[in-house]
Structure 1
Amino acid sequence: MDLILIRHPAVAIDAGVCYGQTDAPLVHDARVSARDVLARMRALNVPDCVDGWHSSPLRRCASLADALGTARIDARLSEMHFGAWEGCAWDDIDRALIDAWAADIEHARPHGGESLAQFSARVFDWFDEASADASSVMHVVAHAGVMRVLAARLLRLDYAGALQWALDFEGIVWLRRAGERWIVVRWNA
């Protein structure tokens, strides 16, 4: 099975702002982004989408998924919820709170939103259900957090490290199941 993950396009939010589940608008038209993504996918020989695109309901993902074809919207694909930190500049958040979160990245929730463990469980619940019904390839328009925790789980890597992996807007991640393990075909292509 091939899992194709596409990060949403750039959002109209200032750099350095925590926007998790904030429903941010796109900087550019989703149809332009869709043309660019499809051209890159063709150049990389990414398998075609046959069964429709899975997507977060947040418009930065859903609008791209709609522009790419049929979209299957699922709230479990939403980005992590950062509670009171949503819409705040990271530099304005109390450093002690960020340090507390970093000290227990899996379970701490100093922002009052989701812990990484809660977020990951939600995403894995979606993946386990969707992949059971999937054909040989599954296409997803998602958020960086969703893509990183999925990749970490499938590749059997540490979540804390995976959260640091570079992932550009419209970045393509292509994972392939080879027997019982998963491999990276492309990262941030």
Structure 2
Amino acid sequence: MSFTIDLLDDATRPKAPRIEGVTEPQRMQGRRLAMIHAMHLRQMAEVRQVMEHVTAGEMQVDALGEALSDMQMSHNYRVFGSLCGQECRMLTFHHTAEDRMLFPALAAQDNDGLRKVVERLAAEHEVIHHLIERMEAAARAAMNEPGPETFASLRESFETLERVVVSHFGYEQEELEEALGYYEIDI
């Protein structure tokens, strides 16, 4: 998907102007967003860990134990799909809260550069939502028809989502840290 490549290109992302006089306590307030992001990244790491276990299980499937392995593989896909779904719902909730509360509060400030950053972040949320939907569809396919092809599609969808989310979080934290504390926007 070309839009994800463009999304990850920092050269296309607007930069928020630095705010003169930001205090350390204000920066700390802005860093609360990074703590929330860290929770999501830990959960994505858990999803990745389950995926690695499923992958390792597939590599051990042999012709003699195929029926038994397929049953275990199906169970593993269901576990992975449930864990994936849970994190996807939480990430969607997080972005919805930002879109409805945090971003409008930031966009209302008399700061054109910050407004451009918020617009870009909101656009990135739309792309991430699309990637979540794509991954959820791949998870359903892998659970309904477990096999190397459906799992490969699921893995590719997850890895794309993970790469975009990590990049998005880093950008968001960097560009909003000062503004969140300075404008006293509670997270």
Task: Give your verdict on TM over 0.5.
Answer: no
Instruction: Point out the structure with the larger helix share.
Output: 2
**Into which bin does the TM-score normalised by the smaller protein fall?**
0.3 to 0.5
Normalised by the length of structure 1, the TM-score is 0.35
Normalised by the length of structure 2, the TM-score is 0.36
The higher-RCO structure (CA 8 Å, 6+ apart) is: 2
Instruction: Point out the structure with the larger strand share.
Output: 1
